[in-house]
Amino acid sequence: MSVYTTVSTEELTHFLLQYDLGELIKFVGITAGMENTNYFLDTSKGRYVLTLYEAYSHEELPFFLGLMQHLSAHQVDTLTPVADRQGELVNSLCGKPAAIIERLEGVALQQSEVTLEHCCLIGDALARFHLAGQSYGGHRENEDRDHFLSEKITAPLLSVLSKEDRQLLREELDFHKTIKWNELPSGITHSDLFCDNSVFRYVDNQPILSGIIDLYLSCHDAFIYDLAIVANDWCCDENHHLDQTRWLALLSAYNKVRKLEAIEKQAWATMLRSGALRFWISRLDNKLNPPAGEMVLCKSPDDYKFKLQACLQDQKEIMEAISAEL
């Protein structure tokens, strides 16, 4: 979504000859996000998103693109990849694997815009995502979470953090090692469902979910961890504490579609801590080792440090609320 690879009009025009999408009208880089290079693409036959994959190979991409097709076929609102004239979903552009995705109607949601209605809609959609993913044949371990919590990443961070932050990081890393992940219900998760990875349109000022986007961290993981990632972004107030009304709405909508198990409810505060820790570390790493790119957006790590601290402060109240309401 940041622009790491610049594409010329001539290169894109030649690339589009492989597709039955008509003539190129315009394209523009998308500056939000941190992973792939993305462009909005308009042709004489429609509106699309062109993605160049900066970190994934041709061999890795069938998992993600196949998942999109599978979810779409199971009435989950998400992205649909476009096949070329030969039926292929992945080609090459500027020396990178590239694909064209149908563009959703609407706009990406911003954190300041989140309402109870948005939380209910995404809770419902994520439950259907999890259920549909159980019949998908592909498999991918969550290497990203383990990668960012590995000593290779955390050791350099400890050397540059303040004394207080070093203590917090060490304590949370030790706590994370006690989590019994294999006991939690799991399957294919989105793993990065922040507000801006959803697209909404509005009818009479009421939100309608057009789709969940950016599935390139999807993998097999605990369902409740995926929900915690959502809550940490969608349900926090301006002081980084979880808004109980919003996160209960999120979980209640999810629970109506896929019933949460007792072990998942018991792990809720733990998952919130783990999710906040993972993104605090990944953003610290990006700050210490910023990726190269033409328009690269690096997000502040302090946001997730504060969320982690707030969760530690509020975890008793969080567990009391989930026990009483769900």
Q: Which pLDDT belongs to residue 32? A: 62
Query: Which residues of the chain carry a pLDDT beneath 70?
Result: 1-2, 32-34, 291-298
Whether 277 contacts 308, CB under 8 Å: yes
Helix 163-176, helix 302-325: angle, nearest 10: 40
Q: What is the DSSP letter of 159?
A: T
Contacts of residue 126, defined as CB under 8 A and 6 or more positions apart, other chains included, come to 190, 193, 212, 226, 227, 230, 254
Query: For the domain 9-103, what is the CATH code?
Result: 3.30.200.20
Q: Which pLDDT belongs to residue 293? A: 54
Could you say which of 1.10.10.10, 1.20.120.1760, 3.90.1200.10, 3.30.460.10 is the CATH number of the domain covering 108-325? 3.90.1200.10
Residue listed under structure tokens 């790493």: 285
Q: Which pLDDT belongs to residue 292? A: 62
Domain residue limits, the chain? 9-103, 108-325
Q: Which pLDDT belongs to residue 142? A: 85
Alpha-carbon torsion (157, 162, 167, 169), positive or negative: negative
Q: Which pLDDT belongs to residue 2? A: 61
Q: Which pLDDT belongs to residue 225? A: 97
pTM of the model: 0.91
